[in-house]
Amino acid sequence: MIFGAGTVTREVGREIFLGFSGIAIAIFYLLTTIAIGLFVWAFYRRFRKYSRGRPTARLSLKRFVRALADLGSNRTIAKRKPIVGIAHFFVFWGFIVLLLGTTIIAIDVDIIGVLLGRPEWQFWHGAFYIGYALVLDIFGIGFVAGLITLAVVRRRKPARLDYTRVDDVEAQRRGYSLDDNAFLLLLLFIGVSGFLLEGFRIAATNYPSFEVVSIAGWTIAWLTGPLGAAGNDAARIVTWWIHSLAALLFVAYLPYSKGMHIIDDAANLAFYEPRSAAVLAGVEDPAAPGYRSIADFTWKDLLDLDACTKCGRCHEVCPATASGSPLSPRDLILDLREHADAKAGLKLWYGPGATPGHGDATEVAGTVIAADTLWACTTCMACMEVCPVGIEHIPTIVQLRRRLVDVGDVEAGLQSAFQSLARSGNSFGKSAKQRARWTKGLDFTLKDARREPVDYLWFVGDHGSFDPRASDVSQAVARLMHEAGVDFGILYDGERNTGNDVRRAGEEGLFEMLRDANVEAFESASYQRMFTTDPHSLNALRGEYPTDEDVLHYTALLDDFVASGRLTLGKLNGKATYHDPCYLGRYQDEYNAPRRLIEATGLEVVEMGRCRENSFCCGAGGGRIWMDDSSLEERPAENRIREAVALGDDVAYFVVSCPKDMIMYTDAVKTTGNEGVIEVVDIAQLLERAMEVVPVG
């Protein structure tokens, strides 16, 4: 008989279909075939959706190796959420080992035993079986414990798992929670029923001594002992079917559900490019910039949409979400997913996305995703930094903004900034000739690097040149450089806005225009190295200019001068907190020089809860500084100042190292009524104060 072929009883081992009739076995294989068929069909349809995306080169060994480490360690999940990370680690490895265990049985019993009919080749017995049983039980226990932990976390309803939308769009989100719970409980059910099955089987087969290595099953078998051999065997048969049906249900359910993240997220991490926001892709066809329809998305963008597990971490860290704007990075991704699925004719098991109209639209920017929502992003990159599965929100937002700009759907404040930038190279509506007017407050003259050679060319940036609060800082930096004996100069009216934020606001043509003008000015100047006081400029100059400038942030330069004794500091007293600018920290990975400088002034650095990679944006990036923020409930900068003030009365300084921060936080200190409580001060200004208290002699 066909189905009996694989069921040779060994001394150490177990029989899968112990006591099963041929019909029962046939039914099982039929159901298995159906489940796998459903899986393959739905998986193929998902795969086909991604394969229709526009091409993007993402295959690299470096990314692949990093993804292996990410996956193996679950470190991206454990980041700032250690309990969830550890629990997921156990579920992850438990799932893999249990899946391998099932695969081994499938190979041994179904393929070698049944299909090939070669019982002598079977290996799932003896010492191998004992090791197998031990390993599977250990990982199975971890699997169940991890799932229970995650269920408890969910049960406590953290705010990040609340799917209420931040905009006013009516949307049915019950399916999301339903799927989350179904996914978790189904896995838990499979794990627990597996252990029960093991226990009943051990008890029904009279406790074979080698089964003691099945530690969980052995324990359960002792507890179910009172049922007697017959009772345990009856329970075994029932549980066998329940366990198997649950497992087959899971196989069929996976590609129609959150289960898809098991496959999508491994792939998404393997193709993730963390620098994609810092170095944006250019516009391929200037006649049709940005993403018009879902057909313009790259396959990685489409994979991003399905990769989202709705963990809500981006939602939790996003300054736009926190300030009551209509943008939540999570909702953005999920809305796009619903739209992409509707366009591809795909459905998740709980039905189509319930955001009205998403399936009908062709245009994405301004329809599927409202223009206000797209303009709300500060491009601070907190979402990408925190996303455990490598979703790249910002490049997609910028592509959609490019489309808005192309059709002229531009926020009013941004529009006048663009017009001013196109006219005179700055966003202040000032003549280019006035760019270096701030230098008049100095008692020495700055060199014009276009007229005489300098060691360092200083790229000052718009705000440091035109805004009095930030140009005070520029003056302090000039005095420090002068004091340190640095040979440096500026470009005077030759400098233009770098276009970093213009580019992120989606105006690629204007960015190119500004970039070309700057490159021309650089070529007319003679210098060894460049530094800038503006982290936003730093980002563009380093990664998005063809000149491949080796640019320093001024804090790195000053850090050198203090360390080498070119600047002598006295000691200040008290405590300070430091705000990491998004474009210096997350974008350019520089965290330490500013802190060393503050400590060099004698101040103690007290960290805010959200610091370094997890710093909270001031709200000015990505063109937001030019847009109207009066509709926000709480400006991100106000939220941040409140966080700093809560550190205690003794933290007297809020130290910044970005001109936009100086402006945003000076305002926020006033609007939150914290004048006199905490002082916004730039690192350069702090160094000057410390120099004033150098003991004489």
Partner 1 sequence: MKIAVLMRAVPDPVEELEIGDDGVDLDRDFLGYVLNEFDDHALEEGLLLREETGGSLTAYAIGTADEVTQMLHTAIAKGADSAKQLGEDLDVIDAHAQAAAFVDAVRDTGFDLILSGVQASDELDGQVAMLVAAALGLPHISVVVSATPHEAGLKVTKEYWAGITAEYEIDLPAVLGVQTAREAPRYVAVARIRQAQESGALESLDLDQPDPAGRIRVTAMRLSETGDGAEMIEGDEEAAAERVYEILASAGVV
Footprint of partner 1 on this chain (CB under 8 A)?
Answer: 283, 286-287, 289, 405-406, 408-410, 412, 415, 418-420, 422-424, 429-431, 433, 507-510, 512-513
What one-letter code names the amino acid at 619?
G
- Evaluated on CA atoms 351, 356, 362, 365, the torsion sign reads negative
CB of 429 to partner 1, least distance (A): 6
The CB-of-691 to partner 1 minimum distance in angstroms stands at 37
DSSP 176-192: HHHHHHHHHHHHHHHHH
Complex with partner 1: residue 420 or 615, whichever CB lies closer: 420
How far is residue 466's CA from residue 262's CA, in Å, rounded to a whole number?
51
Nearer to partner 1, 48 or 433 (CB): 433
Q: What is the DSSP string of 159-179?
A: GGG----SSS---B-HHHHHH
Q: CB of 512: closest distance to partner 1 in angstroms?
A: 8
Neighbours of 465 (CB within 10 A): 26
Mapping DSSP to helix (H, G, I), strand (E, B) and coil, where does residue 680 land? Answer: strand
Nearer to partner 1, 111 or 517 (CB): 517
**Which C-beta is closer to partner 1: that of 403 or that of 586?**
403
Q: Where are the beta strands (DSSP E) in 396-550?
A: 447-448, 454-459, 488-490, 527-532
What b/e sequence results for 195-227 when a residue is b if at least 16 CB atoms lie within 10 Å of its CB, and e otherwise? bbbbbbbbbbbeeeeebbbbbbbbbbbeebeee
Shortest separation between residue 626's beta carbon and partner 1, angstroms: 12
What's the rounded Cα separation, in Å, for the pair 440 and 428?
A: 19
Residue 136 and residue 103 in contact, taking contact as beta carbons nearer than 8 Å: no
Contacts for 606 with CB less than 8 Å, ≥ 6 apart: 575, 576, 577, 647, 648, 651
Question: 431 or 528, CB closer to partner 1?
Answer: 431
How many CA within 13 A on the CB side of residue 432?
A: 15
Please report how close the Cβ of residue 510 comes to partner 1 at its closest, in angstroms.
4
Least spacing, CB of residue 424 vs partner 1, in Å: 6
Strands 651-656 and 575-578: parallel
- Structure tokens belonging to residue 677: 């409580």
562, two tokens: 């203090």
**Residue (280 or 637) nearer to partner 1, CB:** 280
Sole residue written with tokens 């035109």: 466
Please, what is the minimum distance in Å from the beta carbon of residue 283 to partner 1? 7
Coil vs helix vs strand at 425 = coil
**Least gap, CB of 405 to partner 1 (angstroms):** 5
Please state the closest distance from residue 505 (CB atom) to partner 1, in A.
Answer: 11
CA-closest candidate to residue 504, choices 460, 543, 540: 540
Label the pairing between strands 551-553 and 679-682.
Answer: unpaired
Evaluated on CA atoms 226, 230, 235, 236, the torsion sign reads positive
Residue 283 or 687 having the CB closest to partner 1: 283
CB of 144: closest distance to partner 1 in angstroms?
Answer: 56
- Choice between 408 and 676, CB closer to partner 1: 408
Nearer to partner 1, 286 or 574 (CB): 286
Closest to partner 1 by CB, 168 or 285: 285
Instruction: Tell the smallest beta-carbon distance from residue 415 to partner 1 (Å).
Output: 5
CB of 86 to partner 1, least distance (A): 49
Q: Of 61, 64, 82, whose CA–CA distance to 72 is shortest?
A: 64
Complete edge-to-edge strand list for the sheet that includes strand 551-553: 447-448, 488-490, 454-459, 527-532, 551-553
Nearer to partner 1, 249 or 519 (CB): 519
With CA atoms as reference, report the closest residue to 179 among 308, 60, 79.
308
Q: Measured from the CB of residue 432, what is the shortest distance to partner 1 in angstroms? A: 9
Between 261 and 515, whose beta carbon lies closer to partner 1?
A: 515
With a CB cutoff of 8 Å and minimum separation 6, the contacts of 235 are 196, 200, 204, 224, 227
How many Cα neighbours within 13 Å face the side chain of 65?
Answer: 3
- Whether the CB-CB separation of 303 and 264 falls below 8 Å is answered with yes
Shortest Cβ distance from residue 628 to partner 1 (Å)?
Answer: 13
Nearest CB to partner 1, comparing residues 339 and 503: 503
For residues 679 and 195, what is the distance between their CA atoms, to the nearest angstrom? 61
CB of 365 to partner 1, least distance (A): 13
DSSP 609: S
Nearer to partner 1, 109 or 417 (CB): 417
* C-beta of 152 vs 412, nearer to partner 1: 412
